[in-house]
């Protein structure tokens, strides 16, 4: 017999929108989510949950236990906004914090998990413990590690953890998931080139780091094309190129910055090795010195197959099989949730925010972006259904 969870009431859907709009008006960046955490904690406490504050900085965990089972799951939402201004004239719930906005939809993610907490607190139709995890500082890949370093899973043990992210470009309310790597790692690199500055009219007296840097930028494009197995996805992107030169003087220093994306530790190590060899080799060939730095910012998000089966069944119960893609193409974006999946089993789901040209279709990290309120009930029901599925009431 197929289980179809009851649809939330119109009042409930309006509550989700009120929560989301308040959070959108009052965005805060990573580890500064003080008012956000207060707001979330206050509403979770009002639902009768046991609320714990200040985990990993500004993190919040609220726990709801029903029945006697020792099993537990985690449902996670991210809290932080981006340090960018909102460009949405006429939007009634636009950001009131200058230079800060929810351009990635974390306001919607919080509202969905709050909604799941309300559904489960009211219906109490499961047996076990649900930990609702509100994580700070997702955007820079620091919040998950901070919460775990503060004893997250020792204090609030979970058998599994689940999260989701809205995706503009996907039809609103549709969902997508896959086993294995679903989002990439992000590694950052800095290449500092030191040459010898000089007069622009006498280049033979100088060692021009700008020309050397240009050669490095082009050479780095061969790393993926000629060093990485074509069956293994990878991206190398140079995103900044700065020097200390002026119009009539060749620079002494040039700096190249950027990031790489991949899905496996082996590819990460290969990218770092080849990029270092190319950068140092080209600098040496020109008589310049090179300092190469490569840092791991985000772990890849690798879904556990057994948890994907659970998430797939829960999504089908909420939206129907025809609106679910259970083998979505991996995306090169990165998510701090990947750090959790290195420690405990779990799965991460995409939820469509709206196709291009429709409500919710503006890209993530765009100054005109907005979370699609029509998607809120879908996410709330999905998270609540996960709890019912993993913590079933047994006779």
Set out the domains of the chain in order of their start, with CATH numbers. 10-183+300-390 (3.40.630.10), 185-298 (3.30.70.360)
Q: Which residues pair with 293 in a beta bridge?
A: 190
Cβ atoms of residues 38 and 110 within 8 Å: no
- Spatial separation of the C-alpha atoms in residues 314 and 321, rounded to whole Å: 10
Cβ atoms of residues 34 and 79 within 8 Å: no
Q: What is the DSSP string of 65-113?
A: EESS---EEEEEEE---BSS----TT-TT--SSTT-B--S-HHHHHHHH
Q: Are strands 346-354 and 198-199 parallel, antiparallel or unpaired?
A: unpaired
Q: Which class for 151: exposed (0-12), middle (13-18), buried (19 or more C-beta within 10 A)?
A: exposed
Q: Phi/psi class of residue 20: alpha, beta or left (left: φ > 0; alpha: ψ in -120 to 50)?
A: alpha
Which residues have C-beta within 8 Å of that of residue 164, sequence separation ≥ 6? 109, 112, 348, 349, 350, 351, 379, 382, 383
Catalytically annotated residue among 28, 33, 86, 138: 138
Predicted confidence at residue 10, as pLDDT, reads 85
Task: State residue 137 phi and psi, 5-degree precision.
Answer: 50, 50
Predicted confidence at residue 2, as pLDDT, reads 44
Please say if 138 is a catalytic residue: yes
Each residue's pLDDT expressed in tens, for the chain with a length of 395 residues? 345 555 667 899 999 999 999 999 999 999 999 999 999 999 999 999 999 999 999 999 999 999 999 999 999 999 999 999 999 999 999 999 999 999 999 999 999 999 999 999 999 999 999 999 999 999 999 999 999 999 999 999 999 999 999 999 999 999 999 999 999 999 999 999 999 999 999 999 999 999 999 999 999 999 999 999 999 999 999 999 999 999 999 999 999 999 999 998 899 999 999 999 999 999 999 999 999 999 999 999 999 999 999 999 999 999 999 999 999 999 999 999 999 999 999 999 999 999 999 999 999 999 999 999 999 999 999 999 999 999 999 86
Please say if 325 is a catalytic residue: no
Predicted confidence at residue 4, as pLDDT, reads 54
* Binding-site sequence positions for Mn(2+): 104, 106, 139, 165, 365
Predicted confidence at residue 274, as pLDDT, reads 98
* Binding-site sequence positions: 104, 106, 139, 165, 365
**3-class DSSP assignment, residue 154:** helix
Catalytically annotated residue among 28, 33, 78, 80: 80
Of 27, 150, 77, nearest to 382 by C-alpha is 77
Q: Are strands 301-303 and 180-183 parallel, antiparallel or unpaired?
A: antiparallel
Predicted confidence at residue 8, as pLDDT, reads 62
- Spatial separation of the C-alpha atoms in residues 103 and 94, rounded to whole Å: 11
Predicted confidence at residue 9, as pLDDT, reads 76
Predicted confidence at residue 5, as pLDDT, reads 58
pTM of the full structure: 0.92
Predicted confidence at residue 394, as pLDDT, reads 87
């Amino acid at each position: 017999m197929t289980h179809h969870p009851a649809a939330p009431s119109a009042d409930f859907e309006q509550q989700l929108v009120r929560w989301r709009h308040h959070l959108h008006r009052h965005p805060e960046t990573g580890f500064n989510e003080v008012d956000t955490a207060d707001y979330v904690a206050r509403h979770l406490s009002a639902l009768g949950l046991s609320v714990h504050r200040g985990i990993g900085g500004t993190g919040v965990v609220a726990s709801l236990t029903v029945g006697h089972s020792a099993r537990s799951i985690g449902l996670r939402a991210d809290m932080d906004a981006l340090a960018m201004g909102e460009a949405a004239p006429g939007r009634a719930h636009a950001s009131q914090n200058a230079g800060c906005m929810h351009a990635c939809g974390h306001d919607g993610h919080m509202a969905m998990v709050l909604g799941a907490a309300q559904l489960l607190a009211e219906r109490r139709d499961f047996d076990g413990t649900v930990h609702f995890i509100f994580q700070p500082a997702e955007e820079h890949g620091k919040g998950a590690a901070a919460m775990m370093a503060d004893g997250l899973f020792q204090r609030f043990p979970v058998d599994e953890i689940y999260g989701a992210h809205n995706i503009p470009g996907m039809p609103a309310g549709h969902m997508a998931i896959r086993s294995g790597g679903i989002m990439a790692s992000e590694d950052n690199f800095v290449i500092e080139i030191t040459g010898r500055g000089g007069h622009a009219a006498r280049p033979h007296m100088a060692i021009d780091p700008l020309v050397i840097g240009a050669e490095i930028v082009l050479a780095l494009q061969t790393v993926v094309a000629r060093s990485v197995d074509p069956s293994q996805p990878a991206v190398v992107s140079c995103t900044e190129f700065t020097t200390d030169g002026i119009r009539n003087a060749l620079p002494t220093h040039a700096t190249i910055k950027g990031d790489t994306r991949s899905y496996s530790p082996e590819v990460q190590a290969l990218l770092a090795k080849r990029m270092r060899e190319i950068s140092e080799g080209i600098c040496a060939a020109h008589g310049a010195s090179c300092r190469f730095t490569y840092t791991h910012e985000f772990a890849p998000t690798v879904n556990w197959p057994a948890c994907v089966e659970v998430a797939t069944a829960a999504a089908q119960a909420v939206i129907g099989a025809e609106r679910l893609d259970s083998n979505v193409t991996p995306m090169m974006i990165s998510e701090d949730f990947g750090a959790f999946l290195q420690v405990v089993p779990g799965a991460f789901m995409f939820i469509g925010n709206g196709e291009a040209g429709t409500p919710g279709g503006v890209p993530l990290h765009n100054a005109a972006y907005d979370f699609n309120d029509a998607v809120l009930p879908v996410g709330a029901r999905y998270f609540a259904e996960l709890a019912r599925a993993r913590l079933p009431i047994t006779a």
